Amino acid sequence: DQQVKQNSPSLSVQEGRISILNCDYTNSMFDYFLWYKKYPAEGPTFLISISSIKDKNEDGRFTVFLNKSAKHLSLHIVPSQPGDSAVYFCAANFGNEKLTFGTGTRLTIIP
């Protein structure tokens, strides 16, 4: 049973436009959410996180939105740059539980 779902395996966006990556979760206990970015041949790197007490967290070009009622979060990247092309993983957990990861979305920024 996949508790964290990224239903879009891939996404292509024009450079300069907004990239929106989506993530849905089923476990209502989750209270902490993270996004990781992974380049080929490298491990995932932490990008941004959000606690369930917030509905938005912004860091430069990256903003994460959390909709608890819909059990949905999204990562917005604006403006998108070629270096943003990577696989993005959503992860979630609560309390002392381990992180549960989604399957990832491959983002391609078209110059």
Partner 1 sequence: ETGVTQTPRHLVMGMTNKKSLKCEQHLGHNAMYWYKQSAKKPLELMFVYNFKEQTENNSVPSRFSPECPNSSHLFLHLHTLQPEDSALYLCASSQDLGGAFTDTQYFGPGTRLTVL
Contacts of 88 (CB under 8 A, 6+ apart): 6, 21, 35, 36, 37, 38, 47, 75, 104, 105, 107
CB of 18 to partner 1, least distance (A): 25
Q: Which of 66, 101, 105, 109 binds partner 1 (CB under 8 A)?
A: 101
Which of residues 95 and 111 has its CB atom nearest to partner 1 in the complex?
95
Q: Is 58 in the site for partner 1 (CB under 8 A)?
A: no
In the window 9-38, what residues touch partner 1 (CB under 8 A)? 9, 32, 34, 36
Query: 83: alpha, beta or left, given left = phi > 0 and alpha = psi -120 to 50?
Result: alpha
Token pair listed for 75: 């990562």
Using the rule CB under 8 A, give the single segment among 16-24, 56-64, 65-73, 101-109 that binds partner 1.
Answer: 101-109
Nearest CA to 92 out of 26, 44, 1, 42 is that of 26
Chain contacts with partner 1 (rule: CB under 8 A): 2, 4, 9, 32, 34, 36, 41-46, 49, 89, 91, 93-104
